[in-house]
Amino acid sequence: MKIAPSILSADFAALAADVARVEAGGADLLHVDVMDGRFVPNITIGPVVVEAIRKRTRLPLDVHLMIVEPERYVGAFVSAGADIVTVHAEACPHLQRVLAQIREAGARAGVALNPSTPPAAIEYVLDDLDLVLVMSVNPGFGGQAFIPSAHAKVRRVREMLGGRDVEVSVDGGVKVEHARPLAEDGASVLVAGSAIFGAADPADAIRRMRAAAG
Ligand code: DX5
Ligand code: ZN
């Protein structure tokens, strides 16, 4: 199981120190939440901050775009150093085209599904993606409660993917107690913000989450 700390719950005024802490603590990826105040109510960060983070860490950057018209910004985020760019299916009428655009720009392509979006939304782009991000909260804020229907969605997505080498990542309200059931469902990445940065010892929180996944 890979663990991806979400910097949304980090101290934005001491970002480099928080990133260094989770990198030293064994994080596999760094999850970066980009919000535009339109697709979701909140506003967070843009490519300039991703570029600044890129200079401070060797961790792969897993950039989660919660923005409308993400195709307008794919190039900027890849140039800024994103290794994975994930767009929301709900924000992309031409999803296949955006996924191809991400790969052509040189990054791995992800699709996020809001809690109410059926897995069928990705049925015809399974060969165009490298990661599926199953949202276990309605995106926009850290610290929300895990929505249990994510379990069934992870199982269905893993079944749809068959033998494809695609990550299934779960994002929102993920705590240590969810790690084992999500591993059994077929998840390969756990995104966690408050469970890691809200812990007294983030490195220990990463270790415990990975160990719990088995
Ligand atoms: C929610 C974001 C998540 C968030 C997770 O909109 O996509 O990545 O940071 O934070 P927690 O783990 O606190 O729910
Ligand atoms: Zn996220």
* CB of 188 closer than 6 angstroms to any ligand 1 atom: no
Could you tell me if the CB of 195 is within 6 A of ligand 1? yes
CB distance 173 to ligand 1 below 6 Å: yes
171 included as an active-site residue: yes
- φ/ψ of residue 73, rounded to 5: -120, -5
Encode burial over 148-173: b for 16+ CB neighbours within 10 A, e otherwise. Answer: eebbebbbbbbeebeeeebbbbbbbb
Percent of the chain scoring above 90 in pLDDT: 100
**What pLDDT is stored for residue 68 in this prediction?**
98
Q: Which residue's CA is minimally distant from atom 3 of ligand 1?
A: 172
The rounded distance, in Å, linking the Cα atoms of 214 and 160 is: 23
- Our mutation pick for probing the ligand 1 site, out of 137, 176, 190, counting the most ligand atoms within 8 A of Cβ, is 137
pLDDT tens digits, 132-175: 999 999 999 999 999 999 999 999 999 999 999 999 999 999 99
Active site residue 130: no
| pLDDT the model gives residue 212 | 98
Q: How far is the CA of 145 from the centre of ligand 1 (A)?
A: 10
Q: Which residue has the tokens 């996020």?
A: 112
Whether the model clears a pTM of 0.85, i.e. scores above it, the answer is: yes
Q: What is the pLDDT of residue 116?
A: 98
- Ligand 1 site, residue 115, Cβ cutoff 6 A: no
Which pLDDT value is given to residue 3?
Answer: 98
- The atom of ligand 1 lying closest to the CA of 7 is 9
